[in-house]
Amino acid sequence: MTFPSRLLAGYGHYLQKGFVRYKETHEHLAMYGQHPEVLVITCCDSRLTPEGVFHSGPGELFVIRNVANLVPPFEATDGQHGTSAAIEYAVSALKVKHIVIMGHAKCGGVQAFRENANKSTLKGDFIGRWIKLLEPAAISMACMPVDRIDDPQLAMEYAGVRQSLKNLMTFPFVSERVEAQDMELHGAWFDIGSGELRLMDPKTERFETAASSAILAAE
Ligand SMILES: [Zn+2]
């Protein structure tokens, strides 16, 4: 077994360019620890790079990635709750000011849920059990459709982000800080093909493009 040469070459490039660029930032972070203001929860999908999308360097984003960018509801049961543990650390220890749940186009996890929603989940099928977290999203989408769009995949991707935002509020350490206006929750969706980012309006729960306001903010 050999370490992939593509990765070794990439690391060589990083040492010469990327690390040099952020050398002082790295030294500062190593000395004083991390103080990110933003927790991003997004999908494992390789086509999605949160640091790239938000043009962020080391120490800026605390990132949780899982299949279909899902947040499970708060559970006090035994078990290895990896996503919940990372949320707890970001919120209670790092005191992030914002949580962004970023869904995306062509999400394989969402697609798998849509194709297998009515099938029973086999033992050992981790993805099948995990994406069952989308069930309440599918039910609320059917009962109270928010979007006027004729694209069931996109509608489910949006609904998944909304459900995860709702589930976040079931964590006492999240809801306490949100209600005290000490932290904000945001929904977002990224279109891999076009680079378009859409943000969820908290009042209407609809997703609108962020492009024009983003360009203004960058100037
Ligand atoms: Zn995905």
% of the chain exceeding 70 in pLDDT = 96
pLDDT at 120 over 70: no
Measure 11 CA to ligand 1 centroid, in angstroms: 26
> Same domain, yes or no, for 152 and 195?
yes
> Same domain, yes or no, for 6 and 44?
no
**pLDDT tens-digit series, residues 1-14:** 899 999 999 999 99
pLDDT at 76 over 90: no
- Check residue 123 and give its pLDDT: 60
- Distance CA(96)–CA(62), nearest Å, equals 9
> Same domain, yes or no, for 17 and 92?
no
Whether the CB-CB separation of 69 and 42 falls below 8 Å is answered with yes
> Same domain, yes or no, for 87 and 148?
yes
> Same domain, yes or no, for 106 and 82?
yes
Token pair, residue 83, equals 């996503």
Measure 67 CA to ligand 1 centroid, in angstroms: 6
Q: Which CATH number is 126's domain given?
A: 3.40.1050.10
**pLDDT tens-digit series, residues 101-111:** 999 999 999 99
Measure 5 CA to ligand 1 centroid, in angstroms: 27
Measure 108 CA to ligand 1 centroid, in angstroms: 5
> Same domain, yes or no, for 167 and 185?
yes
List residues bridging with 102 in a β-sheet. 42, 188
pLDDT level of residue 137 (50, 70, 90 thresholds): very high
Query: Mean pLDDT over residues 82-100, rounded?
Result: 98
Question: Quick one: which of 24, 40, 131 has its CA closest to 94?
Answer: 40
> Same domain, yes or no, for 81 and 177?
yes
Query: Mean pLDDT over residues 151-173, rounded?
Result: 97
**Averaged pLDDT score across all residues of the chain:** 93
Measure 135 CA to ligand 1 centroid, in angstroms: 16
Measure 106 CA to ligand 1 centroid, in angstroms: 7
> Same domain, yes or no, for 171 and 76?
yes
pLDDT at 19 over 80: yes
Whether the CB-CB separation of 62 and 34 falls below 8 Å is answered with yes
> Same domain, yes or no, for 167 and 85?
yes
- Distance CA(199)–CA(212), nearest Å, equals 12
Query: What DSSP assignment string belongs to the chain?
Result: ----HHHHHHHHHIIIIIHHHTHHHHHHHHHH----SEEEEEE--TT--HHHHTT--TTTEEEEEETTS--PPP--SSS--HHHHHHHIIIIIS--SEEEEEEETT-HHHHHHHHHTTSPPPTT-HHHHHGGGGHHHHHHHHHS-----S-HHHHHHHHHHHHHHHHHTTSHHHHHHHHTTS-EEEEEEE-TTT--EEEE-TTT--EEE-HHHHHHHH-
pLDDT at 122 over 60: no
Which residues have CB under 8 Å from 177's CB, separation 6+? 91, 183
> Same domain, yes or no, for 15 and 50?
no
pLDDT at 216 over 80: no
> Same domain, yes or no, for 82 and 143?
yes
Q: How far is CA 86 from CA 110, 150, 197, in A?
A: 22, 35, 24
Q: Which amino acid does the sequence have at 114?
A: R
Dihedral of CA 200/205/209/212: which sign? negative
Indicate the range of 72-86, 139-153, 161-175, 183-197 predicted with least confidence. Answer: 139-153
> Same domain, yes or no, for 52 and 102?
yes
- Distance CA(103)–CA(191), nearest Å, equals 9
What residues make up the domain containing 15?
A: 1-33
Measure 24 CA to ligand 1 centroid, in angstroms: 34
- Distance CA(157)–CA(162), nearest Å, equals 9
% of the chain exceeding 90 in pLDDT = 81
Measure 205 CA to ligand 1 centroid, in angstroms: 20
* Number of domains forming the structure of the chain: 2
Measure 44 CA to ligand 1 centroid, in angstroms: 6
